[in-house]
Amino acid sequence: MNADINKQAKELLELCDKLQQDYGIYQGYELTLADCAKLEWQFYLLHLGCDGKKLNLMECHFLRDVMEITQSKESLEQMYEDRQLGSVPFATKIPRSVQEFVRVDLKNKQAGKTTTFGQLLVNFYKVMGQSFIACNSNISKRELTDHTEYTNRLQAYLDKQNVNSNLEPMPATEDAPTQKAPDYHAVEQIMTEINELVGLEAVKEEISSLVNLVKIQNIRKERDLPVTALSLHMVFSGNPGTGKTTIARKLSQIYYNLGLLSKGHLVEVERSALVGGYVGQTAIKTKEVVTSALGGILFIDEAYTLTAGKGQNDFGQEAVDTLLKLMEDNRDQLVVIVAGYTELMEEFLNSNPGLKSRFNKFIFFADYTAEQLVEIFEGQCKKNQFTLTEEAKQLVLDYFTERCDAHEENFANARESRNIFERAITAQANRLAGFEEVTDEQLLSIEQEDITAALG
């Protein structure tokens, strides 16, 4: 989840630079608009997290990972104190970056164009705050209340400025966002990218069949022939590291370019983003997550954890019930993919008749073979311009052969291949650091001892 928030943050910072350049906003300040936005995000998360003026360890990790900052826990707490981030004036002030984004929306509105840059930034505040709160094992009711009040205040500001809002889940009507016309050339490009992935042959065949079905349905529509309603919700089953998230991202782009979704983005969540700790909270959290996914795909990893808890204070089933209703209310604007271990996903679907009826398309992600994992490893090397000696390659193959034959539950498939690559280049760096002179060939070569060190 942090990786997804980090990606959204980077995209918004790039948008800040583009808006500042193209529209001439936020001029004459020492900071750029991107720097201002990033600082305001830090301030907001500190406002949420500094309960008793102290951050906990998980909140510090979140700030460092998502905001890509290096400040110590103590310096962050000092920033909270110096900037008076716990005060009422801070909580009631609209961030300058939001104001600037809205200025662009209003400029465009006067020119007869509709943009939703302000809404995009407010949506990020909502998702960022939810993820920050969820990073704790014990969710704070104060943080949830503060976050709801703050983001409601930002939304009210947008509404008052009369800029376009896409926040509320809405049934399909003539006012709903319009889907783009099919772009089959773009679809073919994405399918080429999928077909270049290592393995996943059965998955590629399923997606190719789906694309062909939609194409034919579109032709039938053009000729005023009857079409069958398509259910786009899916179940991805398989072990970790088998490409489920990667394919979900590609599928969101395919659905967008086939004209099935208006935005084509992917919102990736786990149980903690949907399930609350007290009565009433779960429905709110689930609705906010679904809202952020409208026009795209909501990808729920380890979805079986929603129905695994049987205790009196477990609200996972409430999340499922809320999700099913919102799927129906927004059936033309939302695709949901649930993912997890094969057997556990079967139990999940059998736990509720509504789940079985809505998720009727299953794609199984098989484990990679040892040879495919070596191919993935070599792909990482090639991408980063490294060469792998034959001795090193044999070590990698022997390792993956042993792991694949063992069929261990904690084996991470392609994820493990990427992790070993990262450890190997670290081992190579440690080895070369002792050399007085290093050649280009040495810099680009991963050798047997690097793999030995990477494998521990």
266, part of any domain: yes
The domain boundary, picked from 364, 389, 423, lies at 364
Claim to verify: residue 198 and residue 347 sit in the same structural domain: yes
Same domain, 334 and 398: no
For residue 286, report the phi and psi dihedrals to the nearest 5 degrees.
Answer: -65, -40
Tell which of 342, 364, 386 closes a domain. 364
Number of domains within the chain: 3
Instruction: List strands edge to edge, sheet with 362-365.
Output: 266-269, 296-300, 334-340, 234-238, 362-365
Q: What is the pLDDT of residues 183-197, one digit of tens each?
A: 888 899 999 999 999
**Residue 172 pLDDT > 70, yes or no?**
no
Q: What is the pLDDT of residue 75?
A: 84
φ, ψ at 295 (rounded to 5°): 90, 0
410 and 305 co-located in one domain: no
64 in the same domain as 195? no
Question: Within this chain, do residues 156 and 215 fall inside the same structural domain, yes or no?
Answer: no
Residue 51 confidence class, pLDDT cut points 50, 70, 90: low
Nearest to 164 by CA among 115, 197, 126, 100: 115
Q: What is the mean pLDDT of residues 102-110?
A: 88
Considering 364, 380, 403, which residue would you say is the last residue of a domain?
364
Across the range 427-449, mean pLDDT stands at 91
Q: Is residue 171 part of a domain?
A: no
Q: Got the DSSP string for 119-153?
A: HHHHHHHHHHHHHHHHTSSS--HHHHHHHHHHHHH
169 pLDDT band (50/70/90 cuts)?
Answer: very low
Q: Looking at the structure, do residues 153 and 17 belong to the same domain, yes or no?
A: yes
Which amino acid is located at 34 in the chain?
A
Domain containing residue 300: 184-364
| Residue 179 maps to a domain | no
Strand boundaries in 265-372, DSSP class E? 266-269, 296-300, 334-340, 362-365
170 within domain boundaries: no
* Shared-domain flag, residues 348 and 246: yes
Helix, strand, or coil (residue 31)? coil
Residue 178: inside a domain: no
pLDDT greater than 80 at residue 318? yes
For residue 409, the SS3 value is coil
Residues 28 and 125 in one domain: yes
CATH code for position 225: 3.40.50.300
Encode pLDDT of 119-158 as tens digits: 889 988 988 888 888 776 566 677 778 888 888 889 888 8
Q: How many CB atoms lie within 10 A of CB 308?
A: 15
List of E strands, 228-386:
234-238, 266-269, 296-300, 334-340, 362-365
Span 268-287, pLDDT tens digits: 998 888 887 766 678 888 88
pLDDT confidence band for 86 (50 / 70 / 90): confident
Q: Are residues 425 and 349 in the same domain?
A: no
Confidence (pLDDT) at 284: 85
pLDDT tier for residue 92 given thresholds of 50, 70 and 90: confident
Residue 166 lies in a domain: no
Are 270 and 302 within 8 A, CB to CB?
Answer: yes
User: Residues with Cβ < 8 Å from 39, sequence gap 6 or more?
Assistant: 31
Residues 199 and 226 in one domain: yes
Residue with tokens 């042993």: 402
Residue 260: inside a domain, yes or no?
yes
In degrees, to the nearest 5, what angle opens at C-alpha 17 toward C-alphas 16 and 23?
Answer: 85
Longest C-alpha distance within the chain, in Å?
A: 75
CATH number at residue 417: 1.10.8.60
Residue 13 near residue 34, CB atoms below 8 Å: yes
Examine the domain organization and report whether 156 and 61 are in the same domain.
Answer: yes
**Residue 294 and residue 303: Cα distance in Å, rounded?**
19
Q: Does residue 403 fall inside a structural domain?
A: yes
Q: Is the pLDDT of residue 17 over 80?
A: yes
Q: CA 274, CA 345: separation in Å to the nearest integer?
A: 17
Co-location of 60 and 198 in the same domain: no
